[in-house]
Amino acid sequence: MVALPSGLLGSLDPTSDRAVFRQIADHLREAIDKGRFAEGAKLPSESELVDHFGVSRMTVRNALSMLQSEGLVSSEHGKGVFVRPRPPVRRLASDRFARRHREQGKSAFTMEAEAAGSRPEVDNLEVKEERPSADVSARLGAPRRVLARRRRYLLDGRPVEFATSYLPLDLARDTPIAQPNPGPGGIYARLEELGHKLDHFEEEIRARMPSPQEIKTLRLASGVPVIHLVRTAYDTKGRAVEVCDTVMAADAYVLSYQLPAT
Amino acid sequence: MVALPSGLLGSLDPTSDRAVFRQIADHLREAIDKGRFAEGAKLPSESELVDHFGVSRMTVRNALSMLQSEGLVSSEHGKGVFVRPRPPVRRLASDRFARRHREQGKSAFTMEAEAAGSRPEVDNLEVKEERPSADVSARLGAPRRVLARRRRYLLDGRPVEFATSYLPLDLARDTPIAQPNPGPGGIYARLEELGHKLDHFEEEIRARMPSPQEIKTLRLASGVPVIHLVRTAYDTKGRAVEVCDTVMAADAYVLSYQLPAT
DNA sequence: CTTGCCCACTCGTCTATACGAGTATGCCTC
DNA sequence: GAGGCATACTCGTATAGACGAGTGGGCAAG
């Protein structure tokens, strides 16, 4: 075991009343912020840190778990602890539902991803009828049953979001919307063909920590929150024709909106 | 020490290959989800859990720290571990910058909070000139110096967001905008009086875990992400006249937007 | 040269123990 | 009754040790 280069990490201040594991986390955090550990670089191993700071292993692990829950580092069993690389983000523009984007053969997600140089995938197709949850029911005007379309989106093999669209069953039954692949332009194009000309969308955004199920589905590293977006689509008659419930890996997205000043 | 009511929490499955602390976390999570512990209720103490599950204290603490980083519970030194109450959320409507909301004496934040029955406070006023960061500089068209207005917003004594507005100095110097209190309608009303009629705003939204500094300023419980919102205001000539950088406690906000379908 | 095994190193899990520090309660003193 | 103190509980911090499991490299056998 070779000692760490001195100066790479500072040393503890025994007079400080800040807990030792917090001091260690501070030193590591500072070193990362200052670029002394690059993105993707391996931190000193736990036992190296034990030697360097002269503390027990649990104390080091405590410090590392702080950084992990901050989303700064992630550990890999058998390999080490690494500075978490910031993945490329997908920008959702405020005009992403403009009608002109629907006049293409491919889905908006696929088109946009390819334009950005990524390899898009859509999987986990599930289309079924079900009873709406209280929230969905309220948004859609209390239909007895809804069509639910679930899918998961991946970029370069990495899952970045999963979404469920809910449509009133009376509106979607026996239409291409109830097919696994609704065709070019997606369900919004089909809705308009069915006479539901779209007027506007409402989006509600929350951020929170993922549930264990969401961690699994999106393969989230610890310390990565999710963005929870619920979109309601209204037709020109003012009827809510679709609710789309989306959970996104927060480190993969920047949402962008335009607001009028009037 | 009285034993826990049986049935409140299950027991471990020794044949499972799921780690013990994960099983304990699962049991507690399930009990919380099912409402067996109400919001704000105290969980069994660490030593009660040690007795109940027959494991060491560190294992119990490990389980509890999982729940904490999920944002489900929060611990209070000397008191216990409690189910995190969901605080009332502040909804930001998509028309919140409509001109008609500016024609009042009070700030938008104050008005809206009082309407919702909360007690609003604004503090930490700091107004100073500084050199813009690279990001702010790019958004504002590379001004040499900017006016920065920092403030923190509280609801019922709880900090919920802090924000910094940046304005090109040539535009804001020696105007009411450079005063600690810019007057009724806020800086947007002043900008319009100065001939910068506002046209639209652009908002960029990210979610991430807070830095230690942000945890302190917003008094965040662990397991609460922040929403990072950067708004750029444009006048009718297409000039960016303000950048507002806002960090919000994610558990206190729902953002709401309208998108046109055209 | 290739294959396969072993070993060293990594993090993951768990135990047992100790002391410190914050909180609440009840009792005792004044 | 009011104030203060002792105490028993809470979680926070830290140590030392043990074993398990994933990873990768080097060495030995074929």
Q: What is the pLDDT of residues B70-111, one digit of tens each?
A: 999 999 999 999 999 988 788 888 888 877 777 666 677 888
- Identity (one letter) of the amino acid at A197? K
Beta-carbon contacts of A122 under 8 Å, excluding residues fewer than 6 positions away, are A107, A109, A110, A151, A152, A153, A154
For residue B103, the model assigns a pLDDT of 65
pLDDT score of A58:
96
Backbone region of residue A101 per phi and psi (left: phi > 0; alpha: psi in -120 to 50; beta: other values) = alpha
Looking at residue A95, its pLDDT comes to 82
Under the banding of pLDDT at 50, 70 and 90, the label for residue B255 is very high
Nearest beta carbon to residue B202 from set A212, A224, A256? A256
| Average pLDDT for B233-253 | 96
Bridge partners, A151 (sequence order): A163
Residues of chain B in contact with residue A213, where contact means CB-CB under 8 angstroms, are none
Contact B70 A211 (CB under 8 A): yes
Which residues 18-37 in chain B show a CB within 8 A of chain A?
26, 29
Q: What Å value separates CA B66 and C1' C7?
A: 34
Within 7 Å: CB of B77 and strand D? yes
A208 contacts in chain B (CB < 8 Å): 71, 225, 250-251
**Nearest CA distance, B108 vs chain A (angstrom):** 14
pLDDT greater at residue A111 or residue A147: A147
Output the pLDDT for position B3. Answer: 65
Q: Are B139 and B95 in contact (CB under 8 A)?
A: no
Q: In the predicted model, what is the mean pLDDT of residues A215-241?
A: 95
How far apart (Å, rounded) are the C-alpha atoms in residues B192 and A117?
42
Q: Is the confidence at residue A200, as pLDDT, over 90?
A: yes
Averaged pLDDT for residues A209-230 = 94
B158-176 burial string, b = 16+ CB within 10 Å, else e? bbbbbbbbbbbbebbeebe
Asked if B2 reaches chain A (Cβ–Cβ under 8 Å), the answer is no
How much is the pLDDT for B112?
80
Token pair listed for B233? 């205001």
Give B113 or B29, the one with higher predicted confidence.
B29
pLDDT for A11 equals 87
Report the range of poorest mean pLDDT among A66-75, A251-260, B93-102, B182-191: B93-102
Q: What is the pLDDT of residue A3?
A: 64
| Partner-chain contact B261 A212, CB within 8 Å | no
Contact call for residues A132 and A140 (beta carbons, < 8 A): yes
Q: What is the dihedral of CA B27, B33, B35, B38, to 10 degrees?
A: 90
The pLDDT of residue B44 is 97
pLDDT tens across B134-166, in order? Answer: 999 999 999 999 999 999 999 988 999 999 999
For chain A, which domains are there? 20-83 (1.10.10.10), 90-255 (3.40.1410.10)
What confidence category does residue A46 fall into, taking pLDDT thresholds of 50, 70 and 90? very high
b/e burial code for range B76-86 (CB count within 10 A of at least 16 → b):
eeeeebbbbee
With bands split at pLDDT 50, 70 and 90, how would you rate the model's confidence at A151? very high
What the block records as the tokens of A4 is 């760490």
Q: Residue with structure tokens 């970045």? A: A160
Find the closest chain B residue to A100 by CA distance: B262
- Please check whether strand C approaches the CB of B66 to within 7 Å: no
Instruction: Give residue A2's pLDDT band: very low, low, confident or very high (50, 70, 90).
Output: low
Give the gap in angstroms from C-alpha A33 to the nearest C-alpha of chain B. 11
Residue contact B256–A205, C-beta within 8 A: yes
- In Å, how far is B155's CA from the nearest CA of chain A? 18
Tell me the two tokens of residue B104: 């009042």
Does any CB of chain A come closer than 8 Å to the CB of residue B82? Answer: no
Give the separation between CA B216 and CA A197, rounded to whole angstroms: 49
Q: Is the pLDDT of residue A189 over 70?
A: yes
Percent of chain A with pLDDT over 90: 67
DSSP A138: H
Nearest to B64 by CA among A84, A65, A216, A49: A65
B57-69 and B46-53 are packed helices; what angle lies between their axes, rounded to 10 degrees?
120
State whether residue A133 sits within 8 Å of chain B by CB: no
Confidence of residue A186 (pLDDT cuts 50, 70, 90): confident
